Structure 1
Amino acid sequence: MRIAVIGTGYVGLVTGVSLSEIGHHITCIDVNEDKVAKMQNGISPIYEPGLSELMTKNINEKRLSFTTDHQEGLQQAEIVYIAVGTPENIDGSADLSFVAQAAKDIAGNVEHNIIVVTKSTVPVGTNDMIKDIIQTHLPNGLMVEVVSNPEFLKEGSAIHDSFHGDRIVIGADSEHAFSIIEQVNQPFGVPIFKTDIKSAEMIKYASNAFLATKISFINEISNICELLGANIENVSTGMGLDQRIGSQFLKAGIGYGGSCFPKDTKALIQIAGNVEYEFELLKGVVNVNKKQQGILISKLNDCLPVISGKKIAVLGLSFKPNTDDMRESASILVTEELIKQGAKVVAYDPIAMENAKSILNPLVQYADSIEDAVENSDAALILTDWSEIKNVELAVFNKMKKPLVIDGRNCFALKAMENNGIDYHSIGRPVSAKLIEAAPI
């Protein structure tokens, strides 16, 4: 089918490329001329494993193109996906101005009946708004059908998730729209769940809120484990063996970040507030996450009561590995607080440093390697569990003035760090290796 995708941010670009890979003819539309010019040459504006290769392949096979011209992109499209941003307003609600503009652009450029698929994460009721806007501005006699098709992609594995996801959710109010969008997605081979539009909108928010809740819950448990001398890794493993709980998202650390969980949890709180419902549980999740992001600073202050003038290495800047996304990353809060306390901050990340330079405090310095970052440093803080960091030779920490590692992602075994003479502090685990892995019974 001929499909247009409005918006080439993370969701739009991955969606367009994936749809082209299963045989559809995709035109991606974006107003940023420089960005479109790069994409036309197969250069991805975001780092996502496997994305650039699929872009180049499908451009060469004439199934994928990019344009800034809405008329060119929309006139021949049978289906249009809206995948524009829904940034956070001051009150935590979703800013729908880009969605509304996309709806107007669709109405002003199509010359036939159209199915519009909303991929952007939007509050319940937004698809009704989209339909009203388009229908109001469409030429007389034309009709629009609107479908909610939320995305469930994980940054760092989005291409894999497109073809191996748990489900594809389709929310529609007509059998015709269900049938068409089901046909579009069948080549992915992923189970399809069909529902009404408002339920589909809610599924996205509810899913992200639940996962964020698991993360904040296990982080609270990890803090209690530290006070009691228990090991959070043993606790989370034992919990995860219960099939009702499951092992995913039970890894203790310094909280969640990125473009989805922080924004969507706040938006759901606001959505509940709009119908006069206080979502107390989710408010707690958000507050716990804010506190957790700063926990490494507290640990550092315990180890080095005065850090003014000290060199602190910060390893990992993106909010998670395998992405260059800095949105809501713990590195923003941590580096700002370190500089506020007078530290000399030297940071390293395998991928995200260019993005970091435009976001972090200008006093942050950048190293070319882990080794350069930690050399002659007074402490090393680990914020992102990149494979390069997890697999580093532990001898590299001997280049520090005195090996002190404060690990926000539990990258290393306690015994290994103790054997290498490293003063090692992690999340929810004993400082000493004496209380590590439970012996098999």
Structure 2
Amino acid sequence: MSFTTSPQPSAIRGNFLDITHTVSQASDIKNHIRYIEDGLLIISEGKITWFGSWEDGQAHLSKNIQVQHYPDQLIVPGFIDTHIHYPQTEMVGAYGEQLLSWLNTYTFPTELKFKDKAYADKIAAFFVQELLKNGTTTALVFGTVHPQSIDALFEAAEKVDMRLIAGKVMMDRHAPEDLCDTAEQAYQDSKTLIEKWHGKGRALYAITPRFAPTSTPEQLTKAGQLKQEFPDVYVHTHLSENKDEIAWVKLLFPERKNYLDVYDHYGLTGSRSVFAHCVHLEEDEWQCMHKTDSAIAFCPTSNLFLGSGLFSLKQAWNKQVKVGLGTDIGAGTSFSQLQTLNEAYKVQQLQGDKLSAFESLYHATLGGAKSLHLDDKLGNFNIGKEADCVVINLNATALQALRQSQAKDIEDRLFALFTMGDDRNIHTTYVYGQVAYQQK
């Protein structure tokens, strides 16, 4: 049963921080920062109907409206996770492998369990709660090859009116037999799930080949056929994460000029296509990403944990390619976008680049929305957008409180949060205007 938004308008008062516009250069972000000390957000039927200062906003409050006041916290738009595997929730921190051996040793045995719908229901409920506990209000999610894994996930998200994009894995080779479908079965299962879930409430569907090596040309053709038949659904897969993976793709698809060309050939690039990792792109691939308006999910904790390499945000800005932030649970090591940004900063430092606090906020909110082609609905507090937001305690630990006491301005406070923060900082998470998580 779907969570029902309150017909009565509600309001949130506090210190708000967001970014007003999507940008094409990191240096432009600072010009679009909006910080309102003592602001007011008015919500009706899950949407923002007014936003501004408390002083100006009182005239817009109806008599019986309930105002929730957070005087000591910081309120930001809900965090957006552009790449995560919900079936891998239970295998975070699996030891000692790089990508291909990690899949065989840990991932495939774990995903076999999702044949059981009751098991999928249990993990899906835990997964949704863990997202909310970490302030993530929208995510692009991998399931398993089993259609019931996606039913379980969308059913769990529907209970709190959460915007999730997800799809069942398409995989017909180079994996355990019990985890493989066929080209035709993947097509039929995906089509059924699209017709059942895409656009129902806040649910959206993603065509999800795991990655090129685990799909035959026949299956990739069927994936492209789905994209033609349902042009407003998403495509979600992996690209150029690991050098051995790239070499394998070249062996399997010798007729294609590079890894991305495999996906492009089968019609799987585009404005709703998100490719996780992209650590080792060639020049032609960068050009194709830009030309097709495809997006990258940058997954720093995963790239470091599996030893995959260092992704360059500077290169993505220079090539004008959309980038969102991904936790990539379970190769990624935390559901927290705060922790993910902590590692993203270090990945840039290792390449001689900097990642500012405001750019970090952009990637976790409005930039993530842009990468998912949802910046008309999500990512900031503009009137008409969906009311997803996070109330953050900047002083969740004694060390944080000490550091924050020395902060010069909001940018410095934000940087300290992104360096030291985790789920302990998430005070309250609002989804579609309703409290979906509150710290006890």
TM-score bracket, shorter-length normalisation: under 0.3
Q: What TM-score do you get using the length of structure 1 for normalisation?
A: 0.26
- TM-score of the two chains, using structure 2 as the length reference: 0.26
Structure (1 or 2) with the larger CA radius of gyration: 1
